[in-house]
Amino acid sequence: MQISTFTTHPFDDQRPGTSGLRKKVKVFQSQSYLENFVQSIFDTQTDLAGGSLVLGGDGRYYNREAIQIILAMAAANGLARVIVGQGGLLSTPAVSCLIRKYQTNGGIILSASHNPGGPDEDFGIKFNTPNGGPAPESVTEAIYHRTREINQYRMLDADTIDLDHTGTIKLGDTQVEIIDPVADYAELMGELFDFEQIRQLFSAGEFRMRFDAMHAITGPYAKHILEDILGAESGTVINGEPKEDFGGGHPDPNLVHAHEIVTLTTGPDAVDFAAASDGDGDRNMILGRDFFVTPSDSLAVMVATARLIKGYSDGIAGVARSMPTSQAADRVAAALGLTCYETPTGWKYFGNLLDAGRITLCGEESFGSGSNHIREKDGLWAVLFWLNLLAVRRAPVADIIRQHWREYGRNYYTRYDYEGLDTEAAAGVIRYLQQQLPQLQGADLGSYQVEYADDFEYTDPIDSSKSTHQGIRIGFTEGSRIVFRLSGTGTSGATLRVYLEAYEADPDQQERATAEVMAPLVELAGELAQIEARTGRAEPSVIT
């Protein structure tokens, strides 16, 4: 087998975002586009030469073709070993698990997470470092810098590899191992959670659940763990077959896109517990009978109840949340004498805290939560945490949450997404808010008094790296907040996110509807940012 060197030219749009490089499939299919980015990874991550790599993706359109290209390039760049999920499939949490278990020099994940899939939709690629987590900014900037100057890439002239059967294949001097994508991850979950307790919950015959895999990567994982290992009834996992276009759906586990699972928790035949995960398996939505658990509340409950769970029975070191996530976890941490860190949005910001042992649990409002077991958020892990908690408490989801509110107070929370905005118009909203910050400090805005108004910046307590311009925060003296930021996960246009939070300590007032409580803040946010005037949008695309 020969190695061929191909002449190429740089592309000017390969700077990774919050979760890697995401573009339309057709962009990645264009000549040299994927190859340039992959070669830039190999050129900058020099430990990969002679080292090992985990490779897999969520099964979306172009996943298989991309894996064949990356394998040929890995062999040409001198990698000794590549571990690949059977069928080219690996969830993002499973990649992190494998990197850590087999101590590889990193991993490449092919996914655009919760974005739609198909020939006219989205594709993505990101590099995870040897700790199993998303590459920090220093690594992504090095990769991006290389993409701006690259002029050649290398590939081994080789036949297509059979990805559908486990075993070891030699590709030049590189050993390619096709493995069961589920086994190692399932073993880790068995170490963290009391599977026998959960089996008893199912075997009692009075508990019913459904898990919506949304025709994405988590289907095989959920079916094996929930149905085969834990004994949930056949059919507990719905939409469990991964499809290249996610069955025509949008694999984002929220109340809008996962409406099928939401309907199963309502009515006289409602299930007791339901959950959903996203395209690459790192997000989760938790539901009880006629009850939606916000991701912020889910994290707070996990912090409050961690000692009840086998893998965390010795207690937790601390907790971290992304800045836009509600302050519910902060209140629990304060009561338990734990430190709660506030970081920018992006799982990579939790990595140093986890590696240093500062935190055990972490989460984001965007339906992501996780722990120190890996270095990615983990959708199925969150579902199993809740199942284990339900097995211990033997109480409905709604009762567990309401008891939590009575003890710690309720942080009402909602998010407005304005998607597909003109990029300049969206940036103009943020610039306008930045200009208003000096006069907002201490101002009276209707019945609210501003306690602080800033453009959030973060200094990592471990390596002292600094991240600036991470979102506009406006906090009020009675505990409410409004946060504005631009999302970094889309592939076309811009997405403006508006996060709204209100705190209610009085148990007699904690059953008010979220829309009612948030109405004054929604109106105020629109006025402060001049959203309609600056973007032309009178209403958000999605409310969660």
List the catalytic residues.
Answer: 113
User: How far is Cα 20 from Cα 14, in angstroms, rounded to an integer?
Assistant: 9
Could you give the CA distance from residue 152 to residue 161 in angstroms, rounded to a whole number? Answer: 24
Amino acid at position 133, single letter: G
Q: How far apart are CA 94 and CA 376, in angstroms?
A: 9
The helix, strand and coil proportions of the chain, stated in percent and rounded to the nearest 5, come to 35, 25, 40
**For residue 424, what are the contacts with CB-CB under 8 A and spacing of at least 6?**
none
275 three-class SS: strand
- Dist CA 285 CA 294 (whole Å): 8
What burial class does residue 458 get, using C-beta atoms within 10 Å of its C-beta: 0-12 exposed, 13-18 middle, 19+ buried? middle
Distance CA 280, CA 544 (A): 20
Alpha-carbon distance of 283 to 295, in angstroms, equals: 10
- Residue 112 · residue 60 · CB < 8 Å: yes
One-letter amino acid of 539: E
3-class DSSP string for 30-90: CCCHHHHHHHHHHHHCHHHCCCEEEEEECCCCCHHHHHHHHHHHHHHCCCCEEEEEEEEEC
Residues for the chain: how many in total?
A: 544
CA distances from 252 to 129, 256, 276 (A): 25, 9, 9
Contact 85, 56 (CB under 8 A): yes
